[in-house]
Every structure is written in structure tokens, then in C-alpha cells.
Amino acid sequence: MAEHRRELGAVIWLESKRLLGARSTPIALGIFVLLLVLGQWLHWRSLPPRPTGDRLFGYAYLSAAVLLLHSGLAIDRRHGSEGLLVYNLVNPNRYFYGKVIALAMTILGLGAFAFTTTILVTFGEFSYTLWYSLYFTLIAALFLPLLVLIELLLDTRYPGLALFALFVITLLIISVTIELGVVVDLLGLNTRRFEFSSLIPISWRIPAGWILLPPLYQLWLWRMASDSQKGRAKAP
């Protein structure tokens, strides 16, 4: 059990260190702050009655999320360090779920950053800050399994960007045949602004979606074994 925790902690620490040292991290957080400040300035510059939108919070969060949110599985695979770590240093189960936990911690960290920054920029508008920080954090957590799936299918550093593009394309295709409201209700995104009870449908869909993680783990094992066999076949 102690070894299990040590290996899991090592993977989480390694991924967290990589995130903190990445050049994209300050860029992502800087973009969030700039868009948030711009949204607040445009809001208070407008004449009463002022619009009741999110003041660019959604654009700010999405911009930061597509740069920050990844598990590191695709990066390790591209750099060739995945096999080195798994076959020599870390149990595959602990490696995979350590990466997933690191991604979940990144989502929570981005939510905490969004809350802290917004409460400062808005000079203490607590309801606005808490609502949007919590709302977008829950959405990111809901899509965590799909972020992992994108990294298993594509060798990309930015699975959030790929997921966003695929999500928009899927909505456009679905809108031809059914109402988009059906998709919104299915995902639990039909919320009412500043009514925190309306976030409950998203909340209980998160653990339901995370049931996909064990099958994704098996898919990752299969791909890693397949890549290993291809590597041996190409070797002289």
C-alpha cells in the first residue's frame, strides 16, 4: 500500500511539476486575466441597465482551459518516455490513474485561480464569482474522460482544443436532426443563473461519466502494447 501511494504520488508530482514549468501555463493564466478584466471594463462602461451576461468569463476560462488541461499521456507518448516509465519504473495502473488525478487537480487549480482572480477583479462580487467559477469547473470535470480519450487517440499537447472543436462540430451535426436543447438537458447544462441548485444535474453526471475511466485504461494498455510491438518490428 505504501509503495502504491509512493508511485501514485510520484506520477502526480511529476505531472504537476511539468505543468508549473510549462511556457503555456503563464500564457494561459495571463489570457484569462486579460479577458476577465476586459469583460469587467466593458460591463461597467455600458449604460444602465447593464447586460447580465458572464462578462467574458466563459471566453476567459475556455481560453485558459484549452491551453492547460491535459493528462500528459500524449506528451509522454510523443517523447517516448511512456514505455520507459511504465516498463521500468511505475506500475501501469498507477501511472495512468496518477495522470488522471493530476488532470483533475489541474481542473480544481484552474477553478481556484479563476475564483481568486475574479473576486479581486470584481472587488468582491461573491455570487457572480462563485457561480461562474463553480459552473465552469463542473463542466471541465464532466468532460475529463473525453479529454483523456482525445489524448489516447491523438498525439496532441492540447486535447482541450481538439475536444472543443469536435464538440462544436458534433453540435452542428446534431442540430440538423434534433433540438440542441435535448443535448443541453442530457449533459445537465440547462442551468439558471445564480441558482446554485440548478448545478446539481451537472454534479451527479460527473461521477457517472467517470465510469468510462476503466475502459479508457484498457484502451490505453492496448495502444501502449500495440505501439511497443510496432517499435520492435521496426527495430533492425
Rounded to whole angstroms, how far apart are CA atoms 165 and 190? 21
Q: Where are the beta strands (DSSP E) in the chain?
A: none
Cell triple for 60: 476567459
Computed over its alpha carbons, how large is the radius of gyration of the chain?
A: 20
pTM: 0.92
Q: Which of 161, 11, 5 is nearest to 81 (CA)?
A: 11
Q: What's the per-residue H, E or C state across 117-164?
A: HHHHHCCCCHHHHHHHHHHHHHHHHHCHHHHHHHHHHCCCCCHHHHHH
Residue where the block lists cell 449533459: 187
What is the percent of the chain with per-residue pLDDT over 90, rounded to a whole number?
64
pLDDT of 233 over the 90 cut: no
pLDDT of 235 over the 60 cut: no
Rounded to whole angstroms, how far apart are CA atoms 76 and 71? 10
**pLDDT tens for residues 172-224?**
888 788 777 788 888 888 899 999 999 999 999 999 989 999 999 999 999 88
**pLDDT tens for residues 39-67?**
999 999 988 888 888 999 999 999 999 99
What pLDDT, on a 0 to 100 scale, did the predictor assign at position 230?
A: 66
Name the amino acid, one letter, at 162.
A
Domain that holds residue 210: 2-234
Q: Where does the pLDDT of residue 236 fall: very low under 50, low under 70, confident under 90, or very high at 90 and above?
A: low
Q: 79 near 157, Cβ under 8 Å?
A: no
Domain tally for the chain? 1
